[in-house]
Structure 1
């Protein structure tokens, strides 16, 4: 079910209404007073972004020093409401030179009212694309003197076609001297490993980021080594494919520019890209994950005042690759006094603020291993010793040109009626999400 908002309020941190717009007559104009009384005065703001007060629900989000509150009188899609707020703030920032705060709202009352009338109709979200709205709402907002963004040069004449057409995210008439496409596959590895080395939980969340500087209205086609796409391609060619390893993507979501009809029928990612940076797709993988690091910890408690810590870290990725910014955080008891270290690479120190031994390695080559040996001295207390519940070891890293999922770009093709040449750049990077090893 869509949002079906009855009203939208903009409040400052004191709870004063800066601006509001009523879309339905099923709520009273004083509903925000109930919000202030039940939420802001009880200092519970921030604990839960959804509140039920009387017969209405309040969805609110804080952006800078402004609270945006959506009031609904019926059951509504909460995720859709927050998505609307995020997109609306991005729209306001595009008009206000990149800033959105109380001063920006006070300086742009008329423009905000005009935008609120366009982006929501009878409580239902409409078009929130800055590129399209700027075609017919040409009033410039009061911009911050510190903003480096420049206003759109001039509106494109055929606004009606772009508002109602299929390519509403891209304006016509773009021209670049050098046509380039940058594609980045960014993945985060989440791991929970037991002290015996067995994997308890492991998955990869990834996204495909693009930056396009292309003239005209190009049509792009992206080929990945995913299982569904290769199987469909093999059926179309009536012969088995030889594209190497295939992977199975889960929970795939696409940018609105992707032709979903073509994807469902041909299993190819075809799209007319927006201009500049955008997120093409997101995905998740739960099987066949290539872990970039193996961590083998050994922690021995020697009496009440000493502890030995030995940690071995192995890089599993290719020998020609390397990881950057590797940080291993090894937890120790709160009564730790000091620690002495021996490391084969990098530097280590005891950080009392987080009760951990922090081992940092700037550059970690592939197919190598590093070890840390530490002697930890504990403060002796006369109180009864409590058993130390060992938190897991945490790890941070970035590995360029490596994907834990094995996802690879097989091809990236660009078609445009003028037939210009393009330069395509593809990069991969894998970083740590929640990478934990129990000890």
Structure 2
């Protein structure tokens, strides 16, 4: 009999947590990670115990897949179950990785609801489950924002330089930034009649790795950086200038990565209150703050809050009329949509859900909260295009456009 199932990253981040019987507290996750990381050697025991609680785990895709039990269950049965579970999730999600688990958390929770009932294993057959699972798998989005297929076709000479960043963030329930990755690209799309040399000037204080910090000004730092083979770097080390002769069409001239830190606060912070009212309804009061600069805005903001299984109806109070929210049975979550969110503003929502048999254990199924959004004219790393010059200088009407945007790839807030 299974008490809990949880999936942890190699760093101990809580990706998935499901309590089936309410026998054990959520601190079991912390106890397991402390025990498994305190062991010496590369092969920790598959079965570990703490007081009357037993942990059975495997490692797949760089993740810890763990079940807990207080009963006299066969460890071989539980290990076999975990192996089948990872195979099942791989069948649905396409891969086993931290990123795929974060992107498909709603699907994985739905699978767990069907695979295990009150701690008893039901089925791990993909063929059987496909008749019950409604949530579609989410795959990694192409690293692109702008559809430029219809620009530059009217005879005008144009060059577009787009700085596009995607951020993956995990924020703890205490508001502390636990993990961040920012993947960035500089994309050039050229509609010039002839091959020119283009010089792209980046921030003068741009550094790659901490070893390259120059010691003056506020550094714009990334951890890794790579360039297209056509980019000339003879002016890069000294002046942070990229030189390229763009051909017709679109090219990625530079890619970069920043991990584990941001030069400024994350764009969003959540202040949640989750409780049960006197009528037995689940109350969720969410205050969401946008920590962008005052002249910036986020657009197409969507907040997804997983709620207990069996939630029937939703009533809501939103802070402005242009927002909307709904309870979607297929994802077992409340979706709160905000078309535009100015920097420095704070919005709120009060959700009241009818949940038959609401208990302390089922209230723990609320969260983690996921956000998706776009941040136009903004980069999280601070990277900017200082100048864009063409040689030789073009006569006539030619246009040069520089655009910035940051996308959420995975933005998770624990509550």
Alignment TM class, shorter chain as reference: 0.5 to 0.7
Aligned to 1:360: 337
Gaps of 5+ in 2: 1-90, 96-148
Preserved CA contact (<8 Å) 1:330 1:392 = yes
Q: Whole-Å Cα distance in 2 between the matches of residues 384 and 358 of structure 1?
A: 23
Preserved CA contact (<8 Å) 1:192 1:435 = yes
Preserved CA contact (<8 Å) 2:202 2:240 = no
In the alignment, is residue 208 of structure 1 matched against residue 186 of structure 2?
yes
Aligned partner (choices 222, 240, 254) of residue 249 of structure 1: 222
Aligned partner (choices 205, 208, 231) of residue 258 of structure 1: 231
Count of equivalent residues: 264
RMSD over aligned Cα atoms: 3.6
Q: Whole-Å Cα distance in 1 between the matches of residues 298 and 344 of structure 2?
A: 11
Aligned to 1:179: 157
- SS of aligned partner of 1:248: strand
Q: After superposition, what is the alpha-carbon deviation per residue over 1:39-66, rounded to whole angstroms, capped at 9, x for unaligned?
A: xxxxx9x978xxxxxxxxxxxxxxxxxx
Aligned to 2:169: 191
Preserved CA contact (<8 Å) 1:217 1:416 = no
Preserved CA contact (<8 Å) 1:204 1:289 = no
Q: Whole-Å Cα distance in 2 between the matches of residues 385 and 319 of structure 1?
A: 41
Q: CA deviation at 1:389?
A: 4.1
Q: CA deviation at 1:276?
A: 1.6
Q: CA deviation at 1:215?
A: 3.2
Aligned to 1:328: 303
Q: CA deviation at 1:226?
A: 5.6
Q: CA deviation at 1:264?
A: 4.9
Aligned to 1:411: 387
- TM-score relative to the length of structure 2: 0.56
Q: Whole-Å Cα distance in 2 between the matches of residues 192 and 275 of structure 1?
A: 39
Gaps of 5+ in 1: 1-43, 49-147, 149-175
Q: Whole-Å Cα distance in 2 between the matches of residues 341 and 417 of structure 1?
A: 58
Q: After superposition, what is the alpha-carbon deviation per residue over 1:125-163, rounded to whole angstroms, capped at 9, x for unaligned?
A: xxxxxxxxxxxxxxxxxxxxxxx9xxxxxxxxxxxxxxx
- TM-score relative to the length of structure 1: 0.53
In the alignment, is residue 434 of structure 1 matched against residue 410 of structure 2?
yes
Q: CA deviation at 1:305?
A: 3.8
Q: CA deviation at 1:344?
A: 0.3
| Structure 1 residues 393 and 219, CA gap change in structure 2 (3 angstroms) | same
- SS of aligned partner of 1:336: coil
Q: Which runs of 4+ in 1 moved over 6 A?
A: 417-421
Matches for 1:72-221 after TM superposition, within 5 Å:
178-221=156-199
Aligned to 2:242: 269
Aligned to 1:423: 399
Q: Whole-Å Cα distance in 2 between the matches of residues 343 and 245 of structure 1?
A: 39
* Structure ID, larger Rg: 1
Q: After superposition, what is the alpha-carbon deviation per residue over 1:69-106, rounded to whole angstroms, capped at 9, x for unaligned?
A: xxxxxxxxxxxxxxxxxxxxxxxxxxxxxxxxxxxxxx
Q: Whole-Å Cα distance in 2 between the matches of residues 191 and 226 of structure 1?
A: 27
- SS of aligned partner of 2:236: helix
Aligned to 2:262: 288
